Chain A
Amino acid sequence: MASAQAQLPKSPTGILGLDAITGGGLPKGRPTLICGSAGCGKTLLAMEFLVRGATQFDEPGVFMAFEETTEELTQNVASLGFDLNDLAKHKKIVLDFVYIERSEVEETGAYDLEGLFIRLGHAIDSIHAKRVVLDTIESLFAGLPNPLILRAELRRLFRWLKAKGVTAIITGERGDETLTRQGLEEYVSDCVIVLDHRTTEQTSTRRLRVVKYRGSVHGTNEYPFLIDESGISLLPITSLGLQHTTTNERISSGIPRLDAMLGGMGFYRGSSVLISGTAGTGKTSFAAHVVDATCRRGERVLYFTFEESANQITRNMRSIGIDLHPWVQHDLLHFEATRPSFTGLEMHLTLMHKAINRFKPQVVVVDPLNSFVVADNVSEVKAMLMRLVDFLKLQQITGLFTSLTAGGDTIEQTDVAISSLIDTWLLLRSIELGGERNRGLYVLKSRGMAHSNQIREFLLTDHGVELRDVYVGPSGVLTGSARLAQEAQEQSALVLRQQEADRKRLELQRKRTQLEAQISAMRTAFAEQEADLLQDIAQEQMRETLLLREREDMAQSRKADAPANQHTGDPA
């Protein structure tokens, strides 16, 4: 941040967001002009600058009021929690009401504003003030004659303020052609901030713009701001950078089978999740699952609802078996229910910022997004959502948005065209098949994970969303009773196949038994034959022996030969 160091020193305002767009505050030791029409918050901005300077930055201040008495001022800002009497008592602030009544004043020659200088100088010196507010110095023109002298004196006043080294705010009423009625912008050239109060579509929004900031970079856009019980808060329309830190941590969607579709582990923490779908497809039910799962982990959820009341959501979710009420009681879940038409978009965004900063949730649900779309403000809504998504990502908050898509439109297009901002997009659709309307879900995109590409049917049961198995028929995914029919068909086919297998098994058994019977029969036959043959052989041998013996006996009886020449044989 070397460049920031080289820039001119700044005096922080302490006002949320203003320091961000001015790069640290108003130019230190120089006058700043704040101009705008009536009721746009000039005095308040100036007062907050002074009070915060006195309380937070140890820079005492002088408030010189030309329009309101000190009592009025004290009362007016007491509602914002600023106790001016107390600050004055501790010499942190000096309030000085300059009373000018034109009818009491007679000009009798050349004059100057030295009285004002002395008065202001005395006030500054008495508390060593570092900040000065002149609200609204243009009243002098109404109260004093001779504008020529006044102009010269104002020029001198601003130079004098610079020489004093005080950081000054000069307020001015908006003129017709010029920024201020008396052209104060000619004199105060270091920093000019314009406040504006506009009404569009019956909702009014206050806006702030830094017209000029000499010697410093600054946001040039119009930034909406909000005045509420804690003062002014302002938020930049576009975030200053795209440098969110990311995490690999995954969080469950609360539906195990959906987690499985999302790479097995669910969403990334800090990612933006969009659930879009046509009417009645169960967007809020999905959101409720996420809410329930988050609260179960002991994390906090902030639920912005723009169409249903908190009670209605709780009741409806109970019907699918999700009881959100205990989480509300444990302060883990907070509903912010407002009508979209309650305020302008900017105000909604600011209110959401404030609520998020206050509740510090880990998950934010916006249900539904597109209720903001009125007439043709799509681009504004988109800008707003971009800032919301940016804001959530910076804070590592998981954002869950639901969006209602109109039936006839392209389903993969949200009304607000924010798809590019979304990390994980679940698309819910009704599938019409076989005279039925059933709910289907698919992951249209999910950055950074291998997600399922299947269309899944889901049911809203009394124990929540239930993803079913996929049946792909000839005409796509089968749902509802077609799926049931298919399930039944497959069941019966299975039974048939099992019966067939059983039959074959029996047949095999039978065949084996048959074969074995045959084998044993043959064995028996063989054994019989073998026995016969062996007997034959034995008989044959016996006959041989008998024959031989008979022959010997015969030879003996003939005494034909001596035993000695028995081997010479018988010539017979």
Chain B
Amino acid sequence: MPRKKPREVTQAFEAALERARTTTYVLRLYVAGTTPQSVQAIANVKQICEEHLHGRYELEVIDLYQKPQLAAGEQIIAAPTLIKKLPLPLRRMIGNMSDTERLLVGLDLHVKS
């Protein structure tokens, strides 16, 4: 494979970055009832999404008690669990989403330091 010129690489990178800025995020947040953890998680996720993904995200909050069959289907064991369905790769974040840094890493919005 012939080596790509630096200029081309930079272009590709910027294109990808642009795509990331424009692609729509599909997120599912599974919570177990209205525990403090759940409430906190919902608030945290909403806040992050509004801050970083304004206008290009779909967030669905699902109460596992209401739809227990989804737990097996979505391979959920911990609660709360946030699943980033799109863009790929699929990611799971567990916890009350209070660790903003990690949440951003999980959403590919932040490069791991």
Any B CB within 8 A of the CB of A96? yes
Complex CA gap A226/B22 in Å reads 61
Any B CB within 8 A of the CB of A118? yes
Any B CB within 8 A of the CB of A435? no
Contact flags (1/0) for A119-152 with B, using CB distance below 8 Å?
1011100000000000000001000100000000
Contacts of B106 in A (CB 8 A): 106, 108
Q: Do the beta carbons of A122 and B68 come within 8 Å of each other?
A: yes
Contact flags (1/0) for B21-45 with A, using CB distance below 8 Å?
0000000001011010100110010
CB < 8 Å: which of A96, A105, A110, A112 contacts B72?
Answer: A96
Contacts of A123 in B (CB 8 A): 72
Complex CA gap A112/B30 in Å reads 12
Q: Do the beta carbons of B93 and A106 come within 8 Å of each other?
A: yes
The minimal Cβ–Cβ distance linking B69 to chain A, given in whole angstroms, is: 6
Q: Do the beta carbons of A114 and B68 come within 8 Å of each other?
A: no
Q: Which residue on B lies nearest to A104, using beta carbons?
A: B92
Q: Do the beta carbons of A104 and B94 come within 8 Å of each other?
A: no
Q: Do the beta carbons of A110 and B91 come within 8 Å of each other?
A: no
Any B CB within 8 A of the CB of A176? no
Complex CA gap A305/B106 in Å reads 67
For the A-B complex, the count of residue pairs with Cβ-Cβ distances under 8 Å equals 105
Mark the stretch among B7-15, B49-57, B77-85 that contacts chain A. Answer: B77-85
Contacts of B99 in A (CB 8 A): 107-109
Q: Do the beta carbons of A100 and B93 come within 8 Å of each other?
A: no
Any B CB within 8 A of the CB of A113? yes
Contacts of A342 in B (CB 8 A): none
Q: Do the beta carbons of A99 and B75 come within 8 Å of each other?
A: yes
Contacts of B44 in A (CB 8 A): 109
Name which of B35, B65, B68, B82 has the most chain A CB atoms within 10 A of its CB: B68
Q: Do the beta carbons of A115 and B64 come within 8 Å of each other?
A: yes
With A115-B30, A115-B32, A115-B64 as known contacts, state yes or no: A108 contacts B79, CB within 8 Å.
Answer: no
Q: Do the beta carbons of A106 and B91 come within 8 Å of each other?
A: yes
Q: Do the beta carbons of A116 and B78 come within 8 Å of each other?
A: yes
Q: Do the beta carbons of A106 and B94 come within 8 Å of each other?
A: yes
Report how many residues on chain B are interfacial, defined by Cβ distance under 8 Å. Answer: 37
The minimal Cβ–Cβ distance linking B86 to chain A, given in whole angstroms, is: 15
Any A CB within 8 A of the CB of B90? yes
Contact flags (1/0) for A220-239 with B, using CB distance below 8 Å?
00000000000000000000
Contacts of B97 in A (CB 8 A): 108-109
Any A CB within 8 A of the CB of B76? yes
CB < 8 Å: which of B30, B40, B64, B92 contacts A105?
Answer: B92
Contacts of B98 in A (CB 8 A): 108-110
Q: Do the beta carbons of A100 and B77 come within 8 Å of each other?
A: yes
With A113-B77, A118-B64 as known contacts, state yes or no: A144 contacts B71, CB within 8 Å.
Answer: no
Complex CA gap A406/B64 in Å reads 75
Complex CA gap A318/B37 in Å reads 84
Any B CB within 8 A of the CB of A111? yes
With A108-B99, A108-B106, A114-B32 as known contacts, state yes or no: A119 contacts B91, CB within 8 Å.
Answer: no
With A107-B102, A111-B78 as known contacts, state yes or no: A119 contacts B93, CB within 8 Å.
Answer: no
Q: Do the beta carbons of A118 and B68 come within 8 Å of each other?
A: yes
Q: Do the beta carbons of A105 and B94 come within 8 Å of each other?
A: yes
Complex CA gap A115/B69 in Å reads 11
CB < 8 Å: which of A96, A119, A144 contacts B94?
Answer: A144
Any A CB within 8 A of the CB of B17? no
CB < 8 Å: which of B90, B96, B105 contacts A111?
Answer: B96
Contacts of B89 in A (CB 8 A): 104
Complex CA gap A115/B30 in Å reads 8
Q: Which residue on A lies nearest to B63, using beta carbons?
A: A118
Q: Do the beta carbons of B69 and A122 come within 8 Å of each other?
A: yes
Any B CB within 8 A of the CB of A98? yes
Contacts of B102 in A (CB 8 A): 106-108
Complex CA gap A154/B30 in Å reads 20
Complex CA gap A106/B103 in Å reads 7
9 smallest CB-CB distances across A and B, nearest first, come from A109-B95, A122-B68, A114-B32, A119-B71, A106-B106, A114-B79, A109-B98, A109-B96, A115-B76
Of the A-B pairs whose beta carbons lie under 8 Å apart in the complex, a sample of 24, sorted by A's number, is A100-B75, A104-B89, A107-B94, A107-B99, A108-B93, A108-B94, A108-B98, A109-B95, A109-B98, A109-B99, A111-B80, A111-B81, A113-B79, A115-B30, A115-B76, A115-B77, A115-B78, A116-B77, A118-B32, A118-B65, A118-B68, A119-B76, A119-B77, A121-B68
